[in-house]
Amino acid sequence: MSDNDTLFGKIIRREIPANIVYEDDQVLGFKDIAPQAPVHVLFVPKNEAIPTLDDLKPQQAELVGRLVLAAAEYARREGLAEDGYRVVMNCREHGGQTVYHIHLHLLAGAHLGRFGTPR
Ligand code: 5GP
């Protein structure tokens, strides 16, 4: 683990509780504490705490692929894939990022409508 310790680092190390619903060798998935859809799960890299997408290096590209694959596998497992879902990664302030340890949101369980409206 790098020295970018965040709330998600504490969840990964089981120092604070979370509703963990997915785990493999590289990715942890847990339910978002403030869900924005009937199903809202966060997928985070377990072994590297990269602050934002803007910090991602080409040699770390596989890690983002693993987040996407983990979300897709979870969605299939939970019977969400046929109806469909959305995955989102927020980057910094205008993207709405609040936790600076990259993560992928999986949103599902209802028609989600359009997105990206400026506030
Ligand atoms: P961001 O806004 O950075 O893209 O996403 C961070 C997400 O973490 C938010 O959707 C927020 O609800 C979620 N979150 C913040 N604190 C906690 C927590 O303590 N536990 C869990 N499970 N989710 C959290």
In this predicted model, what pLDDT tens digit does every residue of 70-85 receive, in sequence order?
999 999 999 999 999 9
Total count of domains within the chain: 1
Instruction: Name residue 86's beta-bridge partners.
Output: 107
Write phi, then psi, for 2 (nearest 5 degrees). -75, 180
pLDDT digits (tens, 9 = 90+) for 30-54: 999 999 999 999 999 999 999 999 9
Quick one: which atom of ligand 1 is closest to the CA of 95? 4
Q: Torsion-angle region of residue 109: left (phi > 0), alpha (psi -120 to 50) or beta?
A: left
Residue 116: what are its φ and ψ, rounded to 5°?
A: 90, 10
**What average pLDDT does the structure give for the chain?**
95
Residue 23, number of CB atoms within 10 A of its CB: 13
- pLDDT value at residue 117: 78
Atom of ligand 1 nearest to the CA of 96: 2
Write down the catalytic residue from 94, 101, 103, 105. Answer: 103
Q: Residue 116's pLDDT is what?
A: 78
Q: Using alpha carbons, select from 30, 54, 25 the residue that is nearest to residue 40.
A: 30
Inside any domain, residue 117: no
In a domain, 60, yes or no: yes
Is the pLDDT assigned to residue 1 strictly greater than 50?
no
- Say whether 105 is catalytic: no
In a domain, 114, yes or no: no
Task: Please report, for the domain that includes residue 54, its CATH number.
Answer: 3.30.428.10
Q: Is residue 36 part of a domain?
A: yes
Position of tokens 């969605």?
75
The parent domain of residue 73 ranges over: 7-108
* Inside any domain, residue 44: yes
